[in-house]
Structure 1
Amino acid sequence: MKIDVHQHLGIRDVKAKEIRELFDYVVLNPAYKYGCMCCVDGFYQQYLWNKGKDYLQLGIYNPKCRVPAEVELGRQYDKGIVGIVLNPINHDFELKEAWKVYQFAEDHSLPVFVCTGRGKGNPLELKNVVKEYKIRIVLMRLGYPQYINQAKEVIKESNIYGEISSVPIDLVKDFPKDKLIFGSCYPYIPLSIIKDKEILDNARKIINI
């Protein structure tokens, strides 16, 4: 099975050809390309765009949002999200501040997709999270470029996985294949599909399909 867990189609001003036919399942990521203090980035834009289509959707939440996490994520959960995005890089928060998101994810059996790679997106901050909460965590971009070594350490935890969009293939090979899932980050970056069937299928360990 071919699964892409990371596309940004459906967000306002993101214009690109749909490539849905290349995959069995595609998951929409609502994160904006650049930093902002938005509560939910492009989630509702994608939700409306996806009506009549068959994309799966990730929710998103900024812990600095005035709307309580359980309220906003509850709305998104009712709309069928299959996971939650945390973006400490663009939203400028410490990962320890997102405890209400981790609790919601645990209560609703949802994986948490964490943007990593620079700034406050340091994977090491998640080691204590998986000890306190029974959740699955996906390191988006595997800590690349600044935190590759930290990602190698953290991914040893049984319930932490890595998503490989934008990561050079020679670095991807340094990680255990059974812990990697495919994401393209299309169309924020040009589409590049790997041929490894195991990695293309591994998302079934994370999301309910």
Structure 2
Amino acid sequence: MAPGARRLATEVVLPVPESGDPVVVELGAGAGVFTGLIQELLGGRGHHLAVEADPRLASSLAARHPRARILNDDASALPQLLAEYGLGAADVVISGLPWAGPDRATQRTTLDCVRRVLAPQGAFTAFGYAHATRLTSARRFRRMLGSSFEEVIPGRTVWGSMPPAFVYHARRPRPRKSAETIDLLAAQLASRAAAATDMRF
């Protein structure tokens, strides 16, 4: 792993507890950049479920990380997957998904699944690329985080990463109704702000 990627991965996996038997869920495990670090931190403790939609990547991860449960599935199946393995809630959800890419419905559905499976004091981390923060989808995701969690803290940019990236640290998922109401209000305010900007030009 390149030094920059290692620094970013270290920031992403920061909420993994150093003791106890936590339930750690990884979304979009990909080539396993975060998977290996999570396994190092757990050291055989707890439960590590890594969800990867690509069957070839999932198969490769399963061979390299036998202590983790590598699941070839979609992030939207997260609540069912935890129930299938008898795990009531996740202490940490770590995302390797490209949140600035999907449309609004996909972002909302996936984030709702994360919020639903997290324990009341659970933590969620996701990374974003510094150059993409002005994209409409990236701004929308940031608003959705605010409506879904009581606390959202953007980390410092890791300039050594290629491309430079930063990590969102979110804690304490909001109840569903509360999240939906805040999300609707945030979307309305964003729409009005965009309309006001158009009228000035």
TM-score interval (norm. to shorter): 0.3 to 0.5
Q: Given the two structures, how large is their TM-score scaled by the length of structure 1? A: 0.39
Q: Which protein has the bigger strand share?
A: 2
Q: Which protein has the bigger helix share?
A: 2
